[in-house]
Amino acid sequence: MGVKVHGVAVSTCTSRVLTILHEKGLDFELVPVNLLAGEHKQPPFLAKNPFGQIPVLEDGDLTLFESRAITAYVAEKFKENGVDLIRHNNLNEAALVKVWTEVESQSFHPAISPIVFQHIIVPMRGQTPDQAVIDANLEKLAKVLDVYEDRLSSTKYLAGDFYSLADLHHLSYTYYFMKTPGASLVNERPHVKAWWEDISSRPAFKKVAEAMTLGQK
Ligand code: GS8
């Protein structure tokens, strides 16, 4: 039996999970959650994730939330299927995957997510983006991307010369970010730009990106 993902394909956190499922060639069922109706705040969904957020993954008796914990589980369980995203045969490489996975969640995500939220979600609610929030976070993100530019001038991917979970975790937010004026932060850093073009053109992500239509008129 395949796994079930509760979520919506346009959501960044859900698409992070869908990307690894495609990368591993796994069968899965996407069970839609009606966010507008508040289905994620109702008892049946809260029993799966008490924080009332998507995505949730069910694999047999196991129920997981937190997209990065879900991808780590899938990467470990299916480490022998397709690309090894956690470098399980090499302690040092595996540790570097963890380092750059942490960098994504501790430094990259806190800067990029408010920018995507202001540019894409706020207008969908009929409100005006807060330029001060955008500018402050662009400044934060630029500093993070300076570190990436330096790193990616010596290794092809973040953790080393191999595609890993650390790179995969960046895909969904950067995809929406690249539709905003902030995209220049990526485009003006040659190594970051080449890395972005490489990771976003992987077939597993291209399939997921087709459904990432938030903010499209
Ligand atoms: C965040 C989940 C989240 O923000 C993760 O899984 O990585 N750290 C968690 N989910 C959002 C959609 S993100 O595209 C969500 O469920 N929002 C609705 C809400 O909070 O009510």
- Residues constituting the chain: 217
Structural domains of the chain, count: 2
Q: Could you report the per-residue pLDDT of 95-142, keeping only the tens digit for each?
A: 999 999 999 999 999 999 999 999 999 999 999 999 999 999 999 999
Which atom of ligand 1 has the smallest separation from the CA of 16? 7
Q: Best of 5, 12, 13, 16 to mutate for ligand 1, by most ligand atoms within 8 A of CB?
A: 13
Q: State whether 29 and 68 are in the same domain.
A: yes
State which residues form the domain around 52: 3-77
**Distance separating alpha carbons of residues 158 and 148, to the nearest angstrom:** 8
Q: Of all protein residues, whose CA lies closest to atom 16 belonging to ligand 1?
A: 53
pTM exceeds cut of 0.85? yes
61: in domain = yes
Tell me how far CA of residue 168 lies from CA of 35, 37, 52, 116, 215, in angstroms.
25, 31, 24, 18, 22
Q: Could you report the per-residue pLDDT of 51-74, keeping only the tens digit for each?
A: 999 999 999 999 999 999 999 999
Percent of the chain with pLDDT over 90: 98
Extract the tokens encoding 52.
Answer: 């009332």
Binding pocket residue ranges, ligand 1, CB within 6 Å: 11-13, 35, 40, 52-55, 66-68
Report the CATH number that the domain containing residue 9 is assigned in CATH: 3.40.30.10
Q: Of all protein residues, whose CA lies closest to atom 4 belonging to ligand 1?
A: 53
Q: State whether 184 and 119 are in the same domain.
A: yes
Q: Of all protein residues, whose CA lies closest to atom 9 belonging to ligand 1?
A: 66
Please, are residues 28 and 204 in contact by the beta-carbon 8 Å criterion? no
